[in-house]
Amino acid sequence: MFNSLKKLSLTQLAIALTVISILIRFLSLGLYPLMDTTEARYGEMARIMYETGNWIIPMFDYNVPFWGKPPLFTWLSAAGFEIFGVNEFAARVPHLLVGLLILVMTWFVASREENSNKEQAWLATAILATTVAFIVISGAVMTDTALTFGITLAMIGFWQSWTTQSRFWGYMFFVGLSVGMLAKGPLTLILVGISLTLWICGDKRWKRIPTCLPWKGGIAIFLMLSLPWYLLAEWKSPGFLNYFIVGEHIKRFIVSGWEGDLYGTAHKEIRGTIWLYWALAALPWTPILMYQVARFFKAGEEGVVSDNGYFGFLWCWMLSPLILFTFSGNILSSYVMPGLPAFALLIAGYQGKLKLPDKVYKIGLITPVLIVIAALLLGYNLTGKEVEKNLLSTWSQQIEAPESQLVYLNKRPFSAQFYSNGKAKKVTGSLGAVLNDLKEPTFLAVKTNQIPQGFMWKKNRCELRAESTNRELVYCTQPNEST
């Protein structure tokens, strides 16, 4: 295989990297469970949507509306369940398909740029397809892939409208904003706004603002596509807009460790950590971009790489999430993803101006190998990050399962909800008190560190049915006495 790779041209190598990365990610989708907390939580919301037929309001739990995000990520996974049934592959594959659309758009804009060629287009596509964060997140049940699709469509629509005066692409700009609004909300407008504001301020480009887009028709399209769901959501679930707009987009941003989160805990990080996240998320290509930029500065060509502002446009696009989240303490590494298509386009663009040896780009082969290793480790539960799939697989095989309760003591993981089809409930209290309060046959899942030292299950009432690294699953047939 490696001998064959040596004979490939850069275009052929890029195509091979793209195909291998996508194929391996596709084959890995069903090899490991939905992981706590994000994947299992969003997967369960999609399962409830599929089960109940409520496609308007995502539900955090039965009859508990989820106000934290718009519904596009839930629609995607719920649609997967409709087609393939409730399983990991069905939950993830729609998100990977959205990722493929982002790759297609990346190829398109690279191939249309002046003095470009198919080599640069395929190289940009291969770099994005083998960027660790992009290919991993694209195959995960998360909101970021749909958001990245919306922002990518908006940015490419704007660029094509600006350079070709195409009304079609001008309208696609507003369609992209609408997709982003349904994927993650007003954050889309902020990120696109930062990118375009920074770029338009240079070379007096702001003078073309009135004519660069079909504003009237575009705004109408934007409102028609995005506004109805927001109004319907507030009507069906009063309080949504206040929580989502004020809480999620203002308080979450400016209040580090924000305690108003109804669905979890805020992610408190040192401000500026987003830059470290970017450097890690863009691997294995981060050093390549830095080296390319250094070469251009050394050659004295850093300011003349393009006549039409293309490179500046890409830099503004890539840096916008980093600029925004530099000032936020509540961040995740996935927040850099909307800028990754621009990152890939930059590397390919620099290659077209000042070439690196073709062999440098074989570094992309690292990513498919890492995907295989990670999938196997997760599938065989060798990472130390345990989910409830195996324990609940044993539970589902118990003859008493259909007629008994399933209760988790003090903490119910999201994966327990998903893999029990919503049957798992949570009770709080000491183990002895909970056992005394049982009024019907119950499967009780208890973390091993919550079992008092020396505690013995009473064999005439409770029977150990399964164990995992962290929990015991016990079947109790009647109320127990104090212990």
Which pLDDT tens digit goes with each residue over 295-312? 888 776 655 556 678 999
Q: What is the mean pLDDT of the chain?
A: 89
3-state secondary structure the chain: CHHHHHCCCHHHHHHHHHHHHHHHHHHHCCCCCCCCCHHHHHHHHHHHHHHHCCCCCCEEECCEECCCCCCHHHHHHHHHHHHHCCCHHHHHHHHHHHHHHHHHHHHHHHHHCCCCCHHHHHHHHHHHHCCHHHHHHHCCCCCHHHHHHHHHHHHHHHHHHHHHCCHHHHHHHHHHHHHHHHHCCCHHHHHHHHHHHHHHCHHHHHHHHHHHCCHHHHHHHHHHHHHHHHHHHHHHCCCHHHHHHHHHHHHHHHCCCCCCCCCCCCCECCCCHHHHHHHHHCCCCHHHHHHHHHHHHHHCCCCCCCCCCHHHHHHHHHHHHHHHHHCCCECCHHHHHHHHHHHHHHHHHHHHHCCCCHHHHHHHHHHHHHHHHHHHHHHCCCCCCCCCHHHHHHHHCCCCHHHCEEEEECCCCHHHHHHCCCCCEEECCCHHHHHHHCCCCEEEEEEHHHCCCCCCCCCCCEEEEEECCCEEEEEECCCCCCC
* pLDDT for position 482: 44
**Is the confidence at residue 481, as pLDDT, over 50?**
no
Q: What value does the mean pLDDT take over residues 378-393?
A: 84
* pLDDT for position 385: 77
**Is the confidence at residue 480, as pLDDT, over 70?**
no
Whole-model pTM: value is: 0.92
**Is the confidence at residue 483, as pLDDT, over 50?**
no
Which pLDDT tens digit goes with each residue over 19-71? 999 999 999 999 999 998 899 999 999 999 999 999 999 999 998 999 889 99
Which pLDDT tens digit goes with each residue over 193-245? 999 999 998 778 888 899 999 999 999 999 999 999 999 999 999 988 888 88
Which pLDDT tens digit goes with each residue over 82-111? 999 999 999 999 999 999 999 999 999 999
Which pLDDT tens digit goes with each residue over 251-280? 666 665 555 566 665 556 677 889 999 999
